[in-house]
Structure 1
């Protein structure tokens, strides 16, 4: 397990992560740091724990909204896929009927 220092709100924190995940962890920490700083500018310095809590709550709210949107989009995708399958079946049936009609007309070709 790798350990590295990340900086949030100007303070270093030693955190562990799986080997190979160091870059991702640094990116996450940088994003969290940006959010913490933004919240700190909006509400003022609350103390580190409260500032981190407020940021975590705001990020969790954002995550919750995104999960709802993803769920809605998944439902829309499922409906679209069902409609596509219905249309494809209808088109295939129409082609089959057309082919049968052509055969009855004696347009067998060769």
Structure 2
């Protein structure tokens, strides 16, 4: 288990994280520190705890909005995927219909040809 020190609102905190996650934890600490400084600039010195809570709520709101957007995009991708799938099926069915029409036309031609020569029609035997 790795140990990382992050500085948030001028205070250092020693934290544990999984090996290999050190830089990620440092980046999260920087993001929180930046949000607190942004709020401090907007509201002034209103207390560290209040600024930390406001920063956490602001970041939670951003996370909730991001989750809503991701869910919306996932639904859109599913719709597009199903539309593409439906289009592929339609193209395949068009191809099958074309082949069936050619077979039917060929059978009709054979039947007409055999009727005109007086031979008995035997489908598929040539």
CA deviation profile, 1:16-41 (whole Å, cap 9, x unmatched): 11111111111111111111110111
Question: Mapping of 1:40-51 within 5 angstroms?
Answer: 40-51=40-51
Supply the RMSD in Å over aligned alpha carbons.
1.4
Counterpart in the other structure of 1:91: 91
Match in the other structure for 1:4: 4
- Map 1:1-110 onto structure 2 (within 5 A): 1-105=1-105
SS at match of 1:13: strand
What runs of 5+ residues in structure 2 fail to find an aligned partner? 107-126
Aligned residues: 106
Using the size of structure 2 for normalisation, the TM-score is: 0.77
- CA distance in structure 2 between the partners assigned to 1:82 and 1:54 by the alignment: 42
Partners of 1:85 and 1:14 in 2: CA distance:
52
- Give me the whole-angstrom Cα distance separating, in 2, the residues matched to 1:50 and 1:27: 22
TM-score (norm 1): 0.87
Q: CA deviation at 1:104?
A: 4.7
Find the residue that maps to 1:60 and give its secondary structure. helix
Alpha-carbon deviation of 1:60?
0.5
* Structure exhibiting the larger radius of gyration computed from Cα positions: 2
- Provide runs of 4+ in structure 1 moved above 6 Å: none
Can you give the 5+ residue segments of structure 1 that lack an aligned partner in the other structure?
A: none
